[in-house]
Amino acid sequence: MKTKQFRIGRLATLGQVIKALGKTIRAMSDGSLDSQVGARICNGLGILRTCLETQKLEQLEVRMSEISRLLGARTVVSSPLSIDHKPPLSINHETNGASH
């Protein structure tokens, strides 16, 4: 008896990867895909998903910087991917009753 090959389709976008994850989990659930094989596929798809999410975040960061530069904004958006978690700089105004 020949079994049908499990196919997940294209994996070019984040949506396609998420769809493939769902299809794989459903196939494991209904028994048409061995759970050990399915777990390996899900592991690889999870890694691919993380890569695509990181790529998208980097693209958004570049776009935000371009918009900020075009608008002449003085605030700098810290990278959501940065490892160091320094608090943003703040400007402290003296509030000792002096008028500005």
DSSP string, the chain: -PPPPP-----SSHHHHHHHHHHHHHHHHHTSS-HHHHHHHHHHHHHHHHHHHHHHHHHHHHHHHHHHHHHT----PPPTT-S--PPPP-PPPP-SS---
Contact 36, 3 (CB under 8 A): no
Residue 74 has pLDDT above 80, yes or no: no
Q: Any idea where the domains of the chain sit in the sequence?
A: 14-71
Query: pLDDT tens digits, residue range 40-57?
Result: 999 999 999 999 999 999
* % residues pLDDT > 70 (the chain): 69
